[in-house]
């Protein structure tokens, strides 16, 4: 029997603001600072054009982020996505440089240890579409998937995380049931 996960708090318009995810003194850039960085970087046409695009799979280039953060420039062919995942306790931000990305997320805080299967309560699903220049910040317990749902247009985005990703947990989802499938480490992303 899966554990039951309910929303951490009711969703209100301010819930996604970067102010909810600020870093303490000497702990690196806040999610708000990362959002500013990814928006500025996404507006750099020479950098965006430098990313080789593959019609079959995602491509990426690692970038230097502000204040010791980790950043990535990512190309998304039509119909590709990340699958459900978290960021191993890092907070972050991403912005779409070209094209359009859809983010599906959970408005609930998942426990980080001690479970394999959770039953999600009604009302935890969120979806937003981010077109050229639009971005969002998120906190350290954020679980989402990012998709390029376009049938014919590549998308490019910029992502930044602090601290640099220690791991990513990958999940599968069937209806309201979320299952922890694997834990990836940075050495697997090279």
Least confident piece of the model among 25-39, 52-66, 127-141, 143-157: 25-39
Question: Which SS3 state, helix, strand or coil, does residue 188 take?
Answer: helix
pLDDT the model gives residue 21: 41
Residue 14 has pLDDT above 70, yes or no: no
**pLDDT (mean) for 115-129:** 93
Using the CB atoms, write b or e for 1-25: b if 16+ within 10 Å: eeeebebeeeeeeeebebeebebee
pLDDT the model gives residue 87: 95
Q: Structure tokens of 98? A: 């070209």
Kindly give the residue spans of alpha helices, DSSP state H, lying in the chain.
31-42, 45-49
Cα 94 to Cα 56, 66, 82, 84, 156, distances in angstroms: 22, 14, 14, 16, 11
Q: Is the peptide bond before 163 cis (omega within 30 degrees of 0)?
A: yes
**pLDDT (mean) for 128-152:** 96
| Other beta carbons less than 10 A from residue 40's beta carbon | 12
Question: Which SS3 state, helix, strand or coil, does residue 15 take?
Answer: helix
Residue 5 has pLDDT above 80, yes or no: no
* Average pLDDT of the chain, as a whole number: 87
Cα 161 to Cα 1, 114, 157, distances in angstroms: 34, 24, 14
**pLDDT (mean) for 54-59:** 94
């Amino acid at each position: 029997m899966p554990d039951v996960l309910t929303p951490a708090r009711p969703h209100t318009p301010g819930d996604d603001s970067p102010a909810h995810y600020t870093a303490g003194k000497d702990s690196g850039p806040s999610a708000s600072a990362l959002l500013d960085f990814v928006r500025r970087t996404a507006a750099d046409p020479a950098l965006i054009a430098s990313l080789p695009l593959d019609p079959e799979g995602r491509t990426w280039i690692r970038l230097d982020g502000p204040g010791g953060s980790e950043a990535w420039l990512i190309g998304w062919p039509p119909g590709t996505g990340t699958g459900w995942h978290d960021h191993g306790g890092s907070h972050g931000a991403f912005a779409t440089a070209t094209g359009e990305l859809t983010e599906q997320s959970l408005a609930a805080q998942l426990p980080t240890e001690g479970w394999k299967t959770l039953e999600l309560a009604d009302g935890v699903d969120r979806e937003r579409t981010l077109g050229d220049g639009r971005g969002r910040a998120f906190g350290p317990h954020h679980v989402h998937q990012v998709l390029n749902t376009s049938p014919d247009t590549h998308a490019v985005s910029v992502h930044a995380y602090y601290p640099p990703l220690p791991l990513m947990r990958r999940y599968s989802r069937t209806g309201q049931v979320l299952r922890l499938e694997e834990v990836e480490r940075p050495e697997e992303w090279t």
